[in-house]
């Protein structure tokens, strides 16, 4: 079966035929496509044409033949199609491919064209600058064949692909609130539309707000809202240029714009009253909601908006819906107008249909779900209450990130204010100096997505016991400490009413950042993690050697490596805020405790993450002190004891002493100095290099970790009970340490138990 031949009258005469059919007048770029057409096995050159002048828009007409296209395909594509390839270098997309067949079907993936013009193929879903870099004449010709073949086979628009939008995008912009559909459903007059563009925008940009949020009267843009009958999947339409063209388009979809405009504009006028026409009102908007259906089910609602370049009042006069009372200069309803009797009236478009309209491109503001989808944040892990303590340079950046991701609902807590030096790294600006950090951070994050972020700001210390703060803590599933103080994580770690605690901070040079987070059940608390963090710092040469270098207590505003008064670039704050944010989000979803360090190499620019294995800890209570000891530390002592058997061995204990909380955190140990004396029944610790090692440890930990006592092992098959000699030594050392007000701890490693002794009190851990 052969397809019938088309006559010349079946094709559009697109442009003017050129006298020179050899192509000498074509641009070099377009001439290469012309050569490819001439050489093509399945392309037959017809003629060269042009529009305007030969340098404005050049046209190659050719027949494209593809025997693989199915005969009588549902799309109506023929095996031979006459194609016009148009080239205009002044256009955004300089190449335009059109079918010259007058009865070419209205398939999907056609560009917009006006009535009486050849249909234009939508060949690419990329921008021309991207296409241009990989463009060749041959690939372009193949792309045309690809479009024809896939359209014929129904593969260009899969059944599960989104329904095509009703119109191509316009040149004006309107930003809609994220709950636009909800607002329109409740009250289609509730929107408040304002202009948002400035003199450099180069466009008209309008913003729609929920009018219920505005208490004061504001001069806003007028609009009308209509809903069409349902529409299925159709080719994208060319936007109408006049309100008359819009009327005709909508009439084809069963909606009488003429009748609805008259009724709606008349309803703008108060019944029995008149209104003035504001001379500054040069335009109004028409909203149209279009139910889009697939298989008789509504899949979504498309919303389109038109910018009508005319005052709504003056258009209403042309429609005879309202009239001007010259006596008082007010416009009134035309009460003689009957909408029920004009169904058969054919409107005279000459009276009102020539008003120009432009399609407004609508951009919806983001819902919380949309924000999270774009940010790759899981919805089910994002709706929780949290407390962010410390809104300094790092804390304010984290607040910004989490607000933009819509991760969590936060209470901000900080007693500090913005000082001039804060501007180098804080989200605040010069106008914020003197204001509280929590209020600045709260206002800033609320302004990102109004209505989505509503953090509560408490200008106080996280350690202040106020009813409002306690209420927030009771509702929270996590407290994130970024306070630059050791006081907060230590005090909160012993607070049984506190939710899960995470501590985030930068090293003094900001080359490193640290995350400590308790287990969800809080069986592993922050003070346990602090001890293990310091041990990892001392044991890891890759990041620990210079981790706290730059620490100087005289320069620091806070205590420890969480200082804010050191010199480092805001770039490092951005870098580590991103690392810490991602790390905390992942750890929040995990029930386990976690310690993580990010190390930035200034020379290479690389950032490496290190994870510290967290072990369970034991809290041993004495009369005046609580001692924290963890399983990894115990395991290390037993490994060293086993290595030295049958002799006894020992060394020095290092850790952290908190005199406020009366806590001793055992961090690690120094193994036996080389000048120690070890036998199967005794041990005398030596002193070689011990002082230097303690100084180095104290320096590396910013003055936090120091000597806290002694440890030694007992022989095989012996308990960890202190001997008479052990107690004598302990008494002597306790007196020496007591002169400085420091406790003295002795740890003894026995066969199946460990003993801890302070003064004359001994506690044991049975390891069986």
Mean pLDDT by 10 residues, the chain (768 residues): 56 93 94 96 96 87 95 92 95 92 86 81 88 94 95 71 43 86 77 84 85 74 88 69 90 90 89 81 88 82 87 90 90 73 67 87 89 87 95 97 96 96 94 96 94 92 95 97 94 95 95 97 97 96 84 45 66 97 96 97 94 97 96 96 96 97 97 96 95 95 95 95 94 93 96 94 90
End-to-end CA distance of the chain: 91
What does the alpha-carbon distance between residue 397 and residue 385 come to, in Å, rounded to a whole number? 18
Q: Whose structure tokens read 């329904």?
A: 163
Task: Give residue 5's Cα distance to chain centre.
Answer: 57
Which pLDDT belongs to residue 478?
A: 98
What does the alpha-carbon distance between residue 653 and residue 670 come to, in Å, rounded to a whole number? 6
Question: Going by DSSP bridges, is the β-strand pair 330-333/322-325 parallel, antiparallel, or unpaired?
Answer: antiparallel
Which pLDDT belongs to residue 564?
A: 46
Structure tokens at 725: 């000699």
Quick check: bond before 634 cis, omega within 30?
no
Three-class SS of residue 192? strand
Which pLDDT belongs to residue 56?
A: 84
Three-class SS of residue 19? coil
How large is the angle between the packed helices 526-539 and 690-700, nearest 10 degrees? 120
Structure tokens at 671: 């193994």
Which pLDDT belongs to residue 487?
A: 93
CATH superfamily of 617-766: Cytidine Deaminase, domain 2 (3.40.140.10)
Q: Whose structure tokens read 């399609």?
A: 359
Q: What is the 3-state secondary structure (H, E, C) of 577-626?
A: HHHHHHHHHHHHCCCCCEEEEEEECCCCCCEEEEEECCCCEEEEECCCCE
Which pLDDT belongs to residue 539?
A: 94
Q: Is 426 exposed, middle or buried (0-12, 13-18, 19+ CB in 10 A)?
A: buried
Three-class SS of residue 17? strand
Which pLDDT belongs to residue 559?
A: 43
Three-class SS of residue 574? helix
Q: 509 and 418 in contact (C-beta within 8 Å)?
A: no
Question: Going by DSSP bridges, is the β-strand pair 357-364/297-308 parallel, antiparallel, or unpaired?
Answer: antiparallel
User: 493: which residues sit within 8 A by CB, 6+ positions away?
Assistant: 501, 518, 525, 526, 527, 528
Which pLDDT belongs to residue 55?
A: 76
Question: Which H/E stretch holds residue 693?
Answer: helix 690-700
* CA geometry: angle 119, 123, 128, nearest 5 deg: 115
What does the alpha-carbon distance between residue 692 and residue 486 come to, in Å, rounded to a whole number? 26
Q: Which long-range contacts (CB under 8 A, 24 or more apart) does 322-325 make?
A: 322/265, 322/266, 322/269, 325/274
The hierarchical CATH code for the domain 370-612 is: 3.40.50.720
Query: What distances in angstroms separate CA 227 from CA 78, 253, 290, 294, 752, one per listed residue?
Result: 38, 11, 6, 18, 81
Residue 153: closest CA among 231, 71, 63, 247: 71
Q: What is the DSSP code string of 230-282?
A: PB-S-PPBPPPSBHHHHHHHHHTTT--HHHHHHHHHHHHSPTT--B---TT--
Q: Which long-range contacts (CB under 8 A, 24 or more apart) does 39-48 make?
A: 40/141, 42/66, 42/145, 43/141, 46/82, 47/17, 47/18, 47/21, 48/17, 48/18, 48/20, 48/21, 48/23
Q: 459 and 438 in contact (C-beta within 8 Å)?
A: yes
What does the alpha-carbon distance between residue 117 and residue 288 come to, in Å, rounded to a whole number? 27
Q: What is the DSSP code string of 618-675?
A: EEEE-SS-EEEEEHHHHHHHHHHHHHHTTS--EEEEEEEEETTTTEEEEEEEEEPPTT
Residue 541: closest CA among 654, 657, 696, 692: 696
- Full-model pTM: 0.78
Which pLDDT belongs to residue 162?
A: 44
Question: Which H/E stretch holds residue 733?
Answer: helix 724-738
Q: What is the DSSP code string of 467-515?
A: HHHHHHHHH-SEEEE-SS-SHHHHHHHT-TTS-EEEEEEE-TTSSEEEE
| Half-sphere exposure of residue 139: CA atoms within 13 angstroms, side-chain side | 7
What stretch(es) of the chain map to CATH 3.40.50.720? 370-612
What stretch(es) of the chain map to CATH 3.40.140.10? 617-766
* CA geometry: angle 109, 113, 117, nearest 5 deg: 120
Q: Whose structure tokens read 């009970």?
A: 721
Which pLDDT belongs to residue 505?
A: 96
What does the alpha-carbon distance between residue 119 and residue 111 come to, in Å, rounded to a whole number? 7
What does the alpha-carbon distance between residue 261 and residue 285 come to, in Å, rounded to a whole number? 12
């Amino acid at each position: 079966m052969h397809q019938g031949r088309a006559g010349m009258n079946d094709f559009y005469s697109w442009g003017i035929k050129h006298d020179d059919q050899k192509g000498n007048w074509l641009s070099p770029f377009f001439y290469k496509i012309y050569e490819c057409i001439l050489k093509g096995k399945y392309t037959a050159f017809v003629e060269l044409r042009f529009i305007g002048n030969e340098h404005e828009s050049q046209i190659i007409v050719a027949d494209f033949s593809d025997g693989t296209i199915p005969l009588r395909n549902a799309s109506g594509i023929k095996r031979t199609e006459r194609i016009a390839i148009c080239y205009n270098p002044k256009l955004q997309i300089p190449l335009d491919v059109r079918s010259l067949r007058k009865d070419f079907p209205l398939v999907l993936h056609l560009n917009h064209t006006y009535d009486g013009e050849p249909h234009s193929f939508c060949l690419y879903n990329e921008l021309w600058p991207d296409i241009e870099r990989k463009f060749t004449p041959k690939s372009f010709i193949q792309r045309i064949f690809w479009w024809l073949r896939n359209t014929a086979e129904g593969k260009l628009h899969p059944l599960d692909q989104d329904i095509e939008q009703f119109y191509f995008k316009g040149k004006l912009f309107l930003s809609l609130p994220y709950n636009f559909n909800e607002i329109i459903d409740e009250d289609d007059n509730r929107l408040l539309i304002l202009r948002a563009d400035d003199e450099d925008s180069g466009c008209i940009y309008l913003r729609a707000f929920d009018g219920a949020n505005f208490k004061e009267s504001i001069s806003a843009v007028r609009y009308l809202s209509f809903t069409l009958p349902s529409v299925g999947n159709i080719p994208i339409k060319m936007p109408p240029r006049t309100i008359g063209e819009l009327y005709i388009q909508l009439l084809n979809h069963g909606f009488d714009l003429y009748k609805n405009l008259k009724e709606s504009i008349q309803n703008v006028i108060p019944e029995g009253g008149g209104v003035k026409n504001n001379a500054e009102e040069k335009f109004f908007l028409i909203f149209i909601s279009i139910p889009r259906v697939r298989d008789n089910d509504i899949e979504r609602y498309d919303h389109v908006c038109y910018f009508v370049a005319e005052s709504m009042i003056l258009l209403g006069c042309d429609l005879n819906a309202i009239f001007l009372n010259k006596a008082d200069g007010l416009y009134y309803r035309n009460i003689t107008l009957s909408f029920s009797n004009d169904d058969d009236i054919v409107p005279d478009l000459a009276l009102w249909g020539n008003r120009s309209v432009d399609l407004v491109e609508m951009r919806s503001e983001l819902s919380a779900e949309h924000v999270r989808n774009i940010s790759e944040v899981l919805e089910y892990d994002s709706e929780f209450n949290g407390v962010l303590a410390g809104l300094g340079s790092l804390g304010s950046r984290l607040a910004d990130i989490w607000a933009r991701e819509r991760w969590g609902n936060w209470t901000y807590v900080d007693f500090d204010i913005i000082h001039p030096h804060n501007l180098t790294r804080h989200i605040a600006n010069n106008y914020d100096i003197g204001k509280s950090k929590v209020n600045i951070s709260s206002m800033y994050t609320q302004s990102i997505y109004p209505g989505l972020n509503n953090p509560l700001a408490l200008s106080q210390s996280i350690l202040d016991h106020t009813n409002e703060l306690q209420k927030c803590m009771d509702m929270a599933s996590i407290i994130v400490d970024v306070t630059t103080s050791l006081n907060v994580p230590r005090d909160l770690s012993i607070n049984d009413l506190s939710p899960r605690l995470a501590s985030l901070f930068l090293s003094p040079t900001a080359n490193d950042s640290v995350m400590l987070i308790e287990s969800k059940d809080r069986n592993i608390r922050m003070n346990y993690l602090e001890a293990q963090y310091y041990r990892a710092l001392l044991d890891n040469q890759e990041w620990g050697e210079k981790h706290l270098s730059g620490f100087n207590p005289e320069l620091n505003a806070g205590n420890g490596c969480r200082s804010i008064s050191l010199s480092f670039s805001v770039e490092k704050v951005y870098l580590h805020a991103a690392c810490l944010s991602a790390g905390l989000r992942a750890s929040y979803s995990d029930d386990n405790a976690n310690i993580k360090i990010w190390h930035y190499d200034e020379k290479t620019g690389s950032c490496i993450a290190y994870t510290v294995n967290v072990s369970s800890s034991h809290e041993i209570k004495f009369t005046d002190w609580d001692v924290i000891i963890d399983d990894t530390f115990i395991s290390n002592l037993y490994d060293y004891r086993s290595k030295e058997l049958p002799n006894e061995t020992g060394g020095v204990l290092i850790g952290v002493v908190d005199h406020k909380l009366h806590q001793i955190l055992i961090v690690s140990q120094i193994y036996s100095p080389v000048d120690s004396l070890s036998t199967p029944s005794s041990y005398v610790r030596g002193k070689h290099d011990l002082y230097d090692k303690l100084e180095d440890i104290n320096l590396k930990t910013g003055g936090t970790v120091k000597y806290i006592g002694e440890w030694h092992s007992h022989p095989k098959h012996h308990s960890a009970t202190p001997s008479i000699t052990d107690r004598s030594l302990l008494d002597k050392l306790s007196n020496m340490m007591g002169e400085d007000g420091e406790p003295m701890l002795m740890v003894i490693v026995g066969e199946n138990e460990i003993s801890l002794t302070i003064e004359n009190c001994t506690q044991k851990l049975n390891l069986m």
